[in-house]
Amino acid sequence: DVKVTQSSRYLVKRTGEKVFLECVQDMDHENMFWYRQDPGLGLRLIYFSYDVKMKEKGDIPEGYSVSREKKERFSLILESASTNQTSMYLCASSVDPTYEQYFGPGTRLTVT
């Protein structure tokens, strides 16, 4: 079974804090993705990575950065958290970026 894990299920941070969200997959997938999901807006792609140290901006990269130092691990960084970054964050991986993606359980981040 493909497994995608995320470091936290729930996280509460203060405005201005630096936030790290980690994602690990065990299927040797080249491609990894970070989405945020908000009511009425669906899933929106923040960043994706198609190889170690390679990344591409998605639809809403502003205020976020990513790091992929190892194939199995993809981190999302909020340099200075703001209240409008309160959301559900989902990580996914896939063998091909346009095929079936396997999702992690999500991290619900609240920024106060």
Partner 1 sequence: EDKVVQSPLSLVVHEGDTVTLNCSYEVTNFRSLLWYKQEKKAPTFLFMLTSSGIEKKSGRLSSILDKKELFSILNITATQTGDSAVYLCAVPAGNMLTFGGGTRLMVKP
How far, in Å, CA of 112 to CA of 23, rounded? Answer: 23
Do the beta carbons of residue 78 and residue 63 sit within 8 Å? yes
Minimum distance from CB of 9 to partner 1 (Å)? 8
Nearer to partner 1, 18 or 57 (CB): 57
104, 108, 109, 110: CA torsion to nearest 10: 180
- Using a 10 angstrom Cβ sphere, with 0-12 exposed, 13-18 middle and 19 or more buried, the burial of residue 68 is buried
Tokens of 10: 């729930």
Do the beta carbons of residue 62 and residue 75 sit within 8 Å? no
Residues lying near partner 1 in the complex (CB under 8 A):
4, 33, 35, 40-45, 48, 50, 56, 58, 90, 97-106
Nearer to partner 1, 19 or 34 (CB): 34
Nearer to partner 1, 18 or 27 (CB): 27
Minimum distance from CB of 17 to partner 1 (Å)? 25
Nearer to partner 1, 81 or 106 (CB): 106
Minimum distance from CB of 52 to partner 1 (Å)? 17
Minimum distance from CB of 15 to partner 1 (Å)? 26
